[in-house]
Amino acid sequence: MKKHLFAALAAVALVSGCASTTPVEEEDVMVSVTVEEEAGQDEAFVQNAKDRVFFGFDKYDLTTDAVAVLKTQAEWLKANPEKNVVVEGHTDDRGTRDYNLALGERRAVTVKNYLISRGVDADRIRVISYGKERPAVVGANEAAWSQNRRAVTVVKD
Amino acid sequence: MKKSFLCALFFVVLMPFSLRAELSIDITGAHSEPMATGLPVFSAGGEQAKEMAEKISQVIESDLESSGLFRILDPLAYLQTFKGIEDAPVFVDWQAIKAEALIQGHIDYLSEKQIRVSVRLWDVYAAQELYSATLEIDNKGWRRAAHMIADAVYKRITGEEGYFDTRIVYIAETGTPLNRIKRLAIMDQDGENHQFLTDGLNLVLTPRFSPNMQQITYLSFYKDTPRVYLFDIETGKQQVVGDFPGMTFAPRFSPDGHKLIMSMAENGNTDIFELDLDTRAVKQLTNSAAIETSPSYSPDGKKIVFNSDRSGAQQLYVMDSNGKNVKRISFGNGRYATPVWSPRGDYIAFTKMAGGKFYIGVMFPDGKGERLVAEGYLVEAPTWSPNGRILMYFRQEPPNRSGIPGATKIYAVDITGYNERRLITPVDASDPAWSPLLSNH
């Protein structure tokens, strides 16, 4: 239920192409969540394949949802062979800076390896970890943290 | 610039010898009452010197008070006014206001730019001089002169090296919560002489001083390629370190300044590497499928404490500096991270995460004697004062209910857990690193 709300929010922000702030009801606590488009992201890619997958706390294995998203990404990339991507690994802020940089790298590499296993050429995929430096949403609760534990596939020409 | 200050310094120290029980503060144990101290504004030879005397006295007072070990008595209560450094204290006048220690000083201008600072420290009840010194210094270096005097007083009373004549390098934070702008910045230990070192165009993290304080090593995301860099403080020149195939991060200098240890992440695995700055030779020190990061040398350079999740969650490990004899040292509840060896060698400071909270703590190098000294929604990245008695770290408050992020600020706390205080910085601040004592270099 919560997830759907966030997904809908993300979609709105990405389609309109600008940042939006919307209050979200959560167990009598008002939190405000901001979702921002990744700079320079390819809109056709975002519309045809979701651009991000989410991870459990301190985890870097792919969930069933994540696998489904990455399959779509792989198909889109195979259909658009002129496009290259950067996979950005991110974490929530419930860890220390150094460790989170390493964890973000693990997440990005997990996604890269999965895309390769689905037939995407390894040379087309670069990885970068931002650790906890570039959250997608602000919040001191699991709803926010779970949106920040992510790997985002960003299309670069 | 720093160098010319040091050359201009001329330090004469006279230490009277005494076998009697002396005025002293034990800072190793529990909280003690601050020492009541008389600190009249230094006397001065002339108007120009008077202004300087006020400034220097003020910095000494602020240093000593900030330590929590000294309580400077209200000047309105002082019964004696000193006209010069040869004026002997009227001890009954200072005993009458219950001063235990008395700091007497005098300033003269020797030339347009050269000042002489004379100082005497007295034990009021024993009616005895504990310390005296004279500094001749370029007047631009007046702050450092004041810090050096405060360090000398601290050392004479506590028996420990001081820490006032030191600097802090840290990350200055501005921008939005989702897109923080981070810049290298440097300041004196008391927040003065603040200077931004980078322009904020590239994300920078985790700066650390070289032992001679000529360089800072840090992580920069220049050209979206996170790598360890060196920043030359004198020239401002930035230079990538080594030629690594993957992200390098979490750098620290070896105690002799000739090596860097850091992590490299490649293909989903992070290990610890050592780079010899003279020969550029690279040595891999750990080799496991786990994340190994945040390495820190022991002060003798023989051991390295680091963070690994090889047990399934982040814990602290110690190994020989060649990578052999790895031993886990943290066994408490929760996850342990960012270990930093004290410059004295007696403790390892760390960040601990347990029950949804973050803590700063210390433990002995064998993992025993764990003690937590700070806690919060997010407290992280302890760094040691050069005398190993105080920790700085940063504290990030949680966002409020409408999503407005909390402030991120640097704090200091004694390893006893007392005297926690916030450093004043022009903007938000994180990742502090404390320099060695400047006057030792």
Put simply, the chain B residues between 361 and 400 with a CB less than 8 A from any chain A CB are 377-378, 380-381, 396, 398-399
The ipTM of this complex is 0.92
Q: Are A36 and A19 in contact (CB under 8 A)?
A: yes
Confidence of residue A8 (pLDDT cuts 50, 70, 90): very low
- Which residues are CB-contacts of B124 (< 8 A; sequence separation ≥ 6)? B38, B89, B91, B94, B95, B99, B100, B101, B102
Q: Are B342 and B436 in contact (CB under 8 A)?
A: no
A91 secondary structure, DSSP code: -
Instruction: Could you list the beta-strand ranges (E) of B94-202.
Output: 101-109, 114-123, 128-138, 167-176, 179-188, 195-196
* Window 206-265 of B, Cβ < 8 Å to A: 206, 219, 224-226, 246-247, 249-250, 263, 265
User: What residue spans define the domains of chain B?
Assistant: 2-158, 167-440
Residue A25 has pLDDT above 90, yes or no: no
H-helix segments, B19-97:
47-66, 91-96
Which CATH number fits the domain that encloses residue A59?
Answer: 3.30.1330.60
Q: In B258-309, which ranges are E strands?
A: 259-266, 269-276, 282-284, 292-297, 303-308
pLDDT band at B340 (very low <50, low <70, confident <90, very high): very high
Q: How many domains does chain A have?
A: 1
Size of interface A-B (CB pairs under 8 A): 117
**Per-residue confidence (pLDDT) for residue B400, from 0 to 100:** 83
Split at pLDDT 50, 70, 90, the class of B401 is: confident
CATH code, B167-440: 2.120.10.30
Helix (H) or strand (E) holding B384: strand B379-384
Share of chain A above pLDDT 70, in %: 74
Contact assessment for residue B163 and residue B384, using Cβ atoms and an 8 Å cutoff: no
- Residues of B within 8 A of A33 (CB-CB) are 403
Among A residues 92-131, those touching chain B with beta carbons less than 8 Å apart: 93-99, 101-103, 105-106, 109-110, 113, 128-130
Query: Percentage of chain B with pLDDT > 70?
Result: 93
CATH topology of domain B2-158: Rossmann fold (3.40.50)
pLDDT value at B211 more than 60 = yes
Quote the CA–CA distance of B3 and B5 in Å, as a whole number. Answer: 5
pLDDT tens profile B49-108: 999 999 999 999 999 999 999 999 999 999 999 999 999 999 999 999 999 999 999 999
Between B16 and A150, the more confident residue is A150
Backbone angles phi, psi at A100, to 5 degrees: -65, -30
Q: Is the minimum CB–CB distance between A5 and chain B shorter than 8 Å?
A: no
Residue A90 covered by a domain: yes
Q: In B310-439, where does DSSP find H-type helix? A: none
- Average pLDDT on B14-27 reads 56
Which residues of chain B lie closer than 8 angstroms to A98, CB-CB? 206, 249-250, 263, 293-294, 307, 337-338
Encoded tokens for B28: 């190793």
**Cα distance between residue A50 and residue B261, in whole Å:** 39
Band (pLDDT 50/70/90 cuts) for residue B276 is very high
Chain A residues with CB inside 8 Å of B403's CB? 21, 31-34, 138-139
User: Tell me: the pLDDT tens digits for B348-386?
Assistant: 999 999 999 999 999 999 999 999 999 999 999 999 999
Residue A7 has pLDDT above 50, yes or no: no
User: A44 or B326: whose pLDDT is higher?
Assistant: B326
The residue with greater pLDDT, A38 or B51, is B51
Residue A70 pLDDT: 97
Task: Domain of residue A117: give its range.
Answer: 38-156
Q: Where do runs of H (alpha helix) occur along B180-304?
A: none
In a domain, A91, yes or no: yes
Q: Is residue A127 part of a domain?
A: yes
Substitution target in B173, B178, B244 with the highest count of A β-carbons within 10 Å is B178
B178 close contact with A: CB closer than 8 A: yes
Residue A32 lies in a domain: no
Nearest by CB to residue A34, choosing from B203, B314, B403, is B403
Report the C-alpha gap between B177 and B171 in whole angstroms. Answer: 15
